Structure 1
Amino acid sequence: MTVGTRTATTISRAGPADLDALAALFDAYRQFYGQAPDLPRARQWLRERLRFGESVVLVARHGPAVAGFVQLYPMFSSVRTSRTWILNDLYVDAATRRMGVARALLDAAATFAREDGAAGISLETTRDNAAARALYRDAGWREDATRWYSLSFA
């Protein structure tokens, strides 16, 4: 998939050769959400998810540089009796923001889920993340009134 900007953005499914560049972005993503820098931990997490097929990571390249990623986790809907996907992580390097990379990743994730035969794809973001919420709405995602609850063990 290519998005028309001054430099083309291409999206592909991540593989082992992408691990080091992705780990750096994943570590930056975790820091964005208040976690301490830990590149080895970020690399190990991604390596295990990819190795065991526990997630699908799509990587964006803007020109030759790795510019962003989206990570999808499978879920299953008992009511719909089908697979769904959770778009859990979306991150674009600060140097390539506002160049269409995030939108290209969103569109690629939706295409992947649709081609996988999934019943849908969902994500969650904070109410104060106005830029992300505007992007999602612009890309055709709809916000619902569902309230997510969580129980933390760590």
Structure 2
Amino acid sequence: MSIEIRRASPPDLDALAPMFDAYRQFYEQRADAARARGFIAARLEAADSVILLALIDGRPAGFAQLFPSFSSVRTGLLWILNDLYVAGDCRQRGVGRALLSACVAHGEQTGAVGLQLETQRTNNVAQALYVEQGWEMDEEFCSFHYPLENHR
């Protein structure tokens, strides 16, 4: 078994869209293949995010999506690891670890001051992986969200 991680490009849309739809369903969104495809297609076309595609023996196995942001306090580029997904039949095979390592490498290559992510409090499996890989849980700051109804 060989895991390859590479930056996705528009020709990868067919591989990414179903995984992105499954990722959204994991977070209790209804299945919507067209919406998932449209969102990923727009990101790939605009190149406003970095999508890393994981392949096992050439077959799509997962992805990570990073969005650029900035830290005013640290005065530098900050990458938001917004999405991390491993296909169900590819879990427990090192794909998540490989994607996290590739995200960190991307941050280092771009001179970022850090990477940031958030996950559900109940997602203990992911949290254990993050800690194992050197990510630190924020115990100081609270995270707040303001939902806008037009995109539920």
1:17 CA drift (Å): 1.2
Per-residue displacement from partner, 1:59-90 (whole Å, max 9, x unpaired)? 00011210000000000111222110000000
Q: TM-score, with normalisation over the residues of structure 2?
A: 0.95
Match of 1:48 among 32, 42, 49: 42
Match of 1:84 in 2: 78
Match of 1:62 in 2: 56
Paired AA for residue 97 in structure 1: R
| Unaligned segments of structure 2, at least 5 residues | none
Match of 1:38 among 14, 32, 37: 32
1:126 CA drift (Å): 1.5
Aligned length: 148
Q: TM-score, with normalisation over the residues of structure 1?
A: 0.94
Cα RMSD of the aligned pairs, angstroms, is 0.8
Match of 1:71 in 2: 65
Give the secondary-structure state (helix, strand or coil) at the position aligned to 2:54: strand
Match of 1:151 among 115, 137, 146: 146
Distance in 2 (CA, whole Å) between partners of 1:77 and 1:137 is 22
Per-residue displacement from partner, 1:91-121 (whole Å, max 9, x unpaired)? 0000000000000000000100110110000
Q: Please, which moves more after superposition, 33-42 or 67-76?
A: 33-42
The 5 Å alignment of 1:67-146 reads 67-145=61-139, 146=141
Match of 1:4 in 2: none
Distance in 2 (CA, whole Å) between partners of 1:133 and 1:103 is 12
Paired AA for residue 144 in structure 2: Y
| Unaligned segments of structure 1, at least 5 residues | 1-6
Q: Identity percentage over the alignment?
A: 49
Q: 4+ residue stretches of structure 1 with deviation over 2 A?
A: none
